[in-house]
Amino acid sequence: MITAGDIAIPCGKPAAPAHAVAFRERLLLFVLFITVMASSVAFIEPSPHDGLMGVLLVVALIAGVRLERTLLVPFLLLLIWNVAGMMALLHVPGNEKTIQYTGTSVYLAIAGLLFACLFAQNTMQRLTVMRVAYVTTAVIAAFTGMAGYFNVFPGATEHFTNYGRALGAFKDPNVFGPFLIWPALFVLDRMVARHIRFTDAIIAAILLLGLLLSFSRGAWFHFAVSCLVMLALAFVTAPTPRERLRVFALSVTAVGALALFVLFLLSFDSIAEMFKARAHLIQSYDVGQGGRFRLQELALNSVLNFPNGMGPFEFARVHGLQQHNVYLQAFLVYGWAGAMAYLLLLFSTVMVGLRTALVQTPWQPYIITAVAAFVGEMAEGFVIDTDHWRHFYLLLGMVWGLAAATFRQTRNATLRAPAGWAVGLAR
């Protein structure tokens, strides 16, 4: 194989002109930027982001993006998961809504693999474009949520809030909140582990205010878990004792600053009242005959009774409401085979992500924050269904793509080592 830029070309074929390769890459970066920017608009189905993902796939193929061998693991697990979901459709034949659900699952799996393939090559340039787009659109989303909460202009509350909770351009505050977490983590990690910039402090404040105003208990828990994972990885991977001391000291300072920030916001009566109402561990809809906990108990019985799954929305049709637990959802919708593939996908993603995060690479801050956000989202999955969250698949793709890039870099360094020894001996 000979290489032109980041595009592998079989021997015997003429290499594409350098200017053509550069144009394809610039086009890919532009479409990637627009696609990620559109990810905060999710109040309609299909969303603009969904259509742009199709464009991104076509442009990626034109640019020569390929599936690396390292990515065969998520490919196979996603394939098993979704084939099992298709088989579960036999329990609910002829239902347009269930077919659409399964189609969305397949599309999101392709999206996750596409992101993985993208970040496995030309890694830093593509990551930078994605990060700028994601942080920008998250800040805009947070601003729209705040505009709705504080009713900045006529109609803002109607469009950007739901029952007094900020949701931006999403359909659910419980999705809006988690969407803000990865960009917030990246900015916080940069402040704690590298340098503090005024712009980063402002961005973090905007994103955290948006997260608070979502009044999503799951998102708050997600953020807390993700922060703990991020700070632990930042501490462990710090190259010197002095850097570790910096991470520890700034982490304590950041926790104190966050506490003061929250106390300041709670001085506003409207925020304090909603916070008190939402901060309780148990809500009225969690208990009782039709409560979340009772539904999850029923879901466990259904898992045992339907090893091949019930199919999409069938549990809600029988019992009136969803069980609000992505792990039970995996068994109920995709059956035991699909659920096991899903659990293996989560486990392998965390394991490969942690292993990759320990390797010194230019993209180490990205993998640390991606793993941290992914673990937090897994924890939140115990109280909500996350299997159709678009940013979940971006995180999934980021972890596996960076793992593939790190594996290739380590392998190349190993292959170059004998040459170095030979030169040394020759001298």
For 273-302, write each residue's pLDDT tens digit: 887 777 666 655 555 555 667 787 788 888
Residue 6 confidence (pLDDT): 42
Residue 98 confidence (pLDDT): 87
Residue 203 confidence (pLDDT): 96
Sign of CA dihedral 215, 221, 222, 228: positive
For 294-305, write each residue's pLDDT tens digit: 787 788 888 888
User: Mapped to the 3 state alphabet, what secondary structure does the chain carry?
Assistant: CEEECCEEECCCCCCCCHHHHHHHHHHHHHHHHHHHHHHHCCCCCCCHHHHHHHHHHHHHHHCCCCCCHHHHHHHHHHHHHHHHHHHHHHHCCCCHHHHHHHHHHHHHHHHHHHHHHHHHCCHHHHHHHHHHHHHHHHHHHHHHHHHHHCCCCCCHHHHHEECCEECCCCCCHHHHHHHCHHHHHHHHHHHHHCCCCHHHHHHHHHHHHHHHHCCCHHHHHHHHHHHHHHHHHHHHHCCCHHHHHHHHHHHHHHHHHHHHHHHHHCCCHHHHHHHHHHCCCCCHHHCCCCCHHHHHHHHHHHHHHCCCCCCCCHHHHHHCCCCCCHHHHHHHHHHHHHHHHHHHHHHHHHHHHHHHHCCCCCCHHHHHHHHHHHHHHHHHCCCCCCCCCHHHHHHHHHHHHHHHHHHHHHHHHHHHHHHHHHHHHHC
Q: What is the mean pLDDT of the chain?
A: 87
Q: How far is CA 240 from the centre of its chain?
A: 30
Residue 18 confidence (pLDDT): 72
Give the tokens for residue 385.
């269904």
Sign of CA dihedral 68, 74, 77, 82: negative
Residue 175 confidence (pLDDT): 95
Global pTM reads 0.89
In the predicted model, residues of the chain with pLDDT beneath 70 are 1-17, 279-292, 415-427
